[in-house]
Amino acid sequence: MTETPLIGAYPAGPADAPLNGARIGVVTFPGTLDDRDAARAVRVSGATAVELWHGDSSLGGVDAVIIPGGFSYGDYLRAGAISRFAPLMGEIVKAATGGASSNPLPVLGICNGFQILTEAHLLPGSMIKNDHLKFLCRDQVLRVENNSTAWTNAYAAGQEITVPLKNQDGQYIADEKTLDALEAEGRVAFRYVGGNPNGSRRDIAGIANAAGSVVGLMPHPEHAVEAGYGPGHTGTDGRGFFTSVLNTLLGGK
C-alpha cells in the first residue's frame, strides 16, 4: 500500500512512547467519504493506518478499527442500515463484543460510522433527520463527558474541544429508559456545547458501550488533527481520539 504523502510538517508521536507498532484499520464502504482523512489522522498521531474493505471477511489483525463518515450506500434505506450487514461488520461486531476475550477490539464510529454502529446494535439508540431538516456544516464545541474510554483518555474530563460537524441525520434518539441508563452508567461520552445543532436527546453528541471500547459520535475529530486545516485553521482538538486509542493499545489503559 502506498501511503498518501502528508502535506506540510507534523509532529510525530511522543519520542518516549514509540507508537508505530499499532495498526488501526479504517473501513471503506461504497459511499464512504472520510476514510482518507481518518487514515491520515491515524498516521499523524503516530500509528499505522490499514485500509479495510467492507466486503473483506478478515480484519487483518488490526489493533483497532475506525468506521469513518460519509454516506454508505447513499443512506437510501436508513443511514447505516445496509452497511451493517457487510461481511466485515460481522467480524467487527464479533471482535468488539469479544465473547470471552478480556480485550475487546476498540472501535470508533464517526458520523455515518456512528449510525452504522447503532444499526449494528453495538451502540444503543438511533439517528434520525436533524430537527430542522437541513444539512449542517460548522465548527462544533463538544464537552468531553467521559474521559475513561479507549478513544477519550487523552482528554481531561469536562474539557471542551472544537471539531467540525457535518450531517443531515444527526439527531440522536433513544427511549427515556435507555437515555437514563446511558447517563447513569457514564456512557454519554460527548455533549454539544453552545446550542444543540440537530435536536439530539439531552444534547448527546457521542456515546460509548459499557466497556468503553466502542465509541460513536456525530462530529468529526479526524478533520481537526493538523494545524492549518482544522477549525479556525489552527485547531487540532481532534487528535486526542487517536492518541487515546494508542494509550489504550500500548499503555494497557
Partner 1 sequence: MPRIVVDVMLKPEILDPQGKAIVGALPRLGFTAFSAVRQGKRFELTVDGDVTDEILSQAREAAETMLSNPVIEDVVNVEVVADLP
| Catalytically annotated residue among 54, 91, 111, 223 | 111
Minimum CB distance to partner 1, residue 132 (Å): 8
Please name every residue paired with 143 in a beta bridge, in sequence order, or none if there are none: 160, 191
State which residue, 22 or 188, has the beta carbon closest to partner 1.
188
The C-alpha angle with vertex 91 and arms to 93 and 240, in degrees rounded to 5, equals 65
| Catalytically annotated residue among 54, 145, 220, 223 | 220
Cβ pair 136, 111 in contact under 8 A: no
Residue 137 is a catalytic residue? no
Q: How far apart are CA 56 and CA 50, in angstroms?
A: 13
State which residue, 82 or 218, has the beta carbon closest to partner 1.
82
Residue 54 is a catalytic residue? no
State which residue, 16 or 176, has the beta carbon closest to partner 1.
176
Q: Which residues contact 12 (CB under 8 A, 6 or more apart)?
A: 46
Residue 119 is a catalytic residue? no
Minimum CB distance to partner 1, residue 126 (Å): 4
State which residue, 178 or 247, has the beta carbon closest to partner 1.
178
Minimum CB distance to partner 1, residue 78 (Å): 6
Minimum CB distance to partner 1, residue 197 (Å): 14
| Catalytically annotated residue among 91, 119, 145, 222 | 222
State the residues that interact with partner 1 by CB under 8 A.
77-78, 81-82, 85, 118-119, 124-126, 128-133, 171, 173-175, 199
Catalytic site positions: 111, 220, 222
